[in-house]
Amino acid sequence: MTRLSSACAPRRRQARSRVLIFFLVPAPASLAFPRRMRLTKALEYERTYDARCKKVRGPLIMFGAANGLAYPRLGLAIGRKVGNAVVRNRVKRMLREAFRHLQHDLPRAKEGFYDLVVSARVHNAASKDEYIEWMRSGAEAIHKECSKRSPPEDGPRNV
């Protein structure tokens, strides 16, 4: 009878001890971008444009309006001047990614969050970090402008 070499012999599994340690760590915030966080209807875009809170950061033109919801929403309006379909889709992908990373850090309005409509001017390709910074500073500027415009809830109004 021939003996098998140790290389061909079946290996035995060594018993491993498993130690499970549970920490009380808050669940990470979801970075999903579901449909409810998008502006999908023309009336939602019109309402955001009619609020007249507009800020320009880099190549981005951002419009904002308080939405009264427990989450921010994003609408994109990227025109043909930005480039061909490949370029426009890349810009939209980068803007959605920037919003996805910023959604939990965006400023809150008195009555919920903001609806943001982002349009873009013609520009050279930018990195994700640049889009994140432009969107962050634009959202903060919109928050400052819109909060100034809203009348105080309590106290007399001067008419």
pTM: 0.75
**26 located within any domain:** no
Q: 102: part of which helix (H) or strand (E)?
A: helix 85-102
pLDDT digits (tens, 9 = 90+) for 120-132: 999 998 999 999 9
**6 located within any domain:** no
**104 located within any domain:** yes
For residue 32, give Cα distances in angstroms to 35, 40, 117, 157. 10, 17, 19, 41
Q: 56: part of which helix (H) or strand (E)?
A: strand 53-57
Predicted confidence (pLDDT) at residue 158 exceeds the cutoff of 50: no
**How many other C-beta atoms can be found within 10 angstroms of the C-beta atom of residue 72?**
23
Distance CA 29, CA 71 (A): 13
Predicted confidence (pLDDT) at residue 7 exceeds the cutoff of 70: no
Structural domain of 44? 37-149
**10 located within any domain:** no
Predicted confidence (pLDDT) at residue 92 exceeds the cutoff of 60: yes
pLDDT digits (tens, 9 = 90+) for 16-66: 656 555 555 555 567 888 888 999 999 999 999 999 999 999 999 999 999
**109 located within any domain:** yes
Q: Confidence class of residue 155 from pLDDT cuts 50, 70 and 90?
A: very low
pLDDT value at position 33? 82
Distance CA 114, CA 70 (A): 9
Q: Confidence class of residue 10 from pLDDT cuts 50, 70 and 90?
A: low
**24 located within any domain:** no
Burial of 18 (0-12, 13-18, 19+ CB in 10 A): exposed
**14 located within any domain:** no
pLDDT value at position 159? 41
CATH code at position 89: 3.30.230.10
Percent of the chain at pLDDT exceeding 90: 62
Do 117 and 39 touch, CB atoms closer than 8 A? yes
**16 located within any domain:** no
Number of domains in the chain: 1
